[in-house]
Copies of this chain bind each other. A is one copy, B any other.
């Protein structure tokens, strides 16, 4: 059974809440998922999953340094994450506050690892974003995104 890691950094709890919403979507599509804060993830752990979904609040337009540090250390396994599924989500204090650029930065890191990503034609296009505390719209987007991730993980694991 394929397995996804959702790795997040969160101070206010908003990004953490999104992580669990996405996990719900992934599980509802019969894919296993671990949800961990970045402090509990070692670079070598990334190898054990079929999909990696990263989330962070928006700090100056990209992810928090704590998550960036994990990404930098993942260079030890450069080339070994190829063709896994990648995903990203972000929370921010306001609209136009950098949430899209944060999601895209995380997706770019996945692409540099040679990973595979998917967009959403209906909800938040690049990956789920929340302005402050996740509301009903965000919850729906996160669950749908989780389902998409699960679909792609299953397709590539066949």
Contacts and interface: CB of A to CB of B under 8 A. Distances in A.
Interface of A: 59-62, 64-65, 68-69, 71-72, 74-75, 78-79, 81-83, 94-101, 103-105, 108-129, 131, 137, 141, 151-152, 155-156, 158
A156 B98 CA distance: 26
Given A61-B108, A68-B62, A121-B78, A95 B95 contact: yes
B62 A94 contact: no
A43 to B, nearest CB: 12
Given A60-B71, A62-B105, A113 B119 contact: yes
Given A96-B100, A96-B128, 17 more contacts: A62-B68, A62-B108, A65-B65, A65-B68, A65-B71, A68-B68, A83-B151, A95-B95, A95-B131, A97-B124, A104-B108, A108-B126, A110-B119, A111-B119, A113-B119, A113-B121, A114-B122
* Stoichiometry, copies per complex: 4
B61 A121 contact: no
Which interface residue of A114, A115, A137, A158 has the most chain B CB atoms within 10 A? A114
A59 B119 CA distance: 15
18 contacts: A60-B68, A60-B109, A61-B109, A62-B108, A65-B69, A79-B121, A95-B99, A96-B123, A96-B125, A96-B126, A96-B141, A97-B125, A100-B101, A112-B126, A113-B119, A113-B121, A114-B118, A116-B152
Contacts of A141: 96
